[in-house]
Amino acid sequence: MISAGVDSTTSADSVKTLIGTGTLSGKIKYLGEAPTLQKLMVIKDVKVCAKVDHFDERLVVDEENGIKDVVVWLDKVEGGKSLDSLGEEFILDQKDCAYNPHVLIVPVNTPVKILNNDKILHNIHTYGVKNKPVNLAQPRFKKTIKMTFTEPEKVQVRCDVHGWMSAWIIAAEHAYYTITDEKGEYSLDGIPPGKYTLNFWQESLGEKELEVTIKEEKNVQLDFAFEPAKPAKKRKFK
């Protein structure tokens, strides 16, 4: 048992129950040597796209092993804050042939604006399962495309014109979703008392969960650690 208010680090393959509160926060770390950012090759529309360096953002870890862009959320929250608390406007920008931000939380049934600030042809290709995939050209004169997701889901977005461009839209069904910052830190507040499943998802490391009991007007600090992904097994050919 981990008591409320005590710092703790939980390995990716263990499950513990927390007696907690209305506020839940912590830091998500990477176990092992932090990977270095890999520079991506720009081979299309070089005059526009190569103005800045591009890096693989699938796993970004800082000098203290904090993991950026981990999605943290609670399952089946009833009551509490409304979806409006996630924000009023949701924008996925395309600038210098990169998506900004790399991971974006958007409430279900709420439009997200996808901007083209590069004055060249882009392509918006979503890879949803619960939400029907979309594949739309966005030429230079079409500054904004609006898109709405009706089902909660993690949806990858890619550009078929510039293959290195990749982002994720997290369609959220309630307000208790967040993303870790550059240091791997996260916070959820105003949580109604109850028992929940706390989820952690990182695009390269997968998804893990913990059972959490939230009590009114209490605070709990929960740090979590992802183990490195296991290398894929080599296929044997007979």
pLDDT, average across residues 187-204 = 93
197 in any annotated domain: yes
Contacts of 126 (CB under 8 A, 6+ apart): 133, 134, 135, 147, 155, 156, 157, 169
4 in any annotated domain: yes
- Cα–Cα distance measured from residue 179 to residue 203, given in angstroms and rounded to the nearest whole number: 12
For residue 149 the two structure tokens come to: 């997701």
- Examine the domain organization and report whether 155 and 200 are in the same domain: no
- Examine the domain organization and report whether 73 and 12 are in the same domain: yes
- Examine the domain organization and report whether 94 and 136 are in the same domain: yes
- Examine the domain organization and report whether 130 and 111 are in the same domain: yes
Q: Which of 129, 153, 175 is the last residue of a domain?
A: 175
- For residue 179, how many other CB atoms are within 10 A of its CB? 19
Dihedral class, residue 80 (left if φ above 0, else alpha if ψ from -120 to 50, else beta) = left
- Number of structural domains (the chain) is 2
CATH of the domain at 220: 2.60.40
- For the segment 74-109, what is each residue's pLDDT rounded down to a tens digit? 998 888 899 999 999 999 999 999 999 999 999 999
pLDDT score at 220:
80
210 in any annotated domain: yes
pLDDT, average across residues 34-59 = 95
pLDDT score at 151:
98
- Examine the domain organization and report whether 69 and 146 are in the same domain: no
For the chain, the C-alpha Rg in angstroms (whole number) is 19
- Examine the domain organization and report whether 166 and 202 are in the same domain: no
65 in any annotated domain: yes
Mean pLDDT of the chain: 88
Q: Which of 140, 157, 175 is the last residue of a domain?
A: 175
- Examine the domain organization and report whether 4 and 70 are in the same domain: yes
- Examine the domain organization and report whether 99 and 170 are in the same domain: yes
- Examine the domain organization and report whether 92 and 171 are in the same domain: yes
- Examine the domain organization and report whether 3 and 68 are in the same domain: yes
Question: Closest Cα partner for 151 from 129, 133, 131, 135?
Answer: 131
104 in any annotated domain: yes
- Examine the domain organization and report whether 53 and 103 are in the same domain: no
Structural domain span for residue 122: 86-175
Q: What is the pTM of this model?
A: 0.87
- The residue with greater pLDDT, 79 or 238, is 79
- For the segment 136-192, what is each residue's pLDDT rounded down to a tens digit? 999 999 999 999 999 999 999 999 999 999 999 999 999 999 999 999 999 999 999
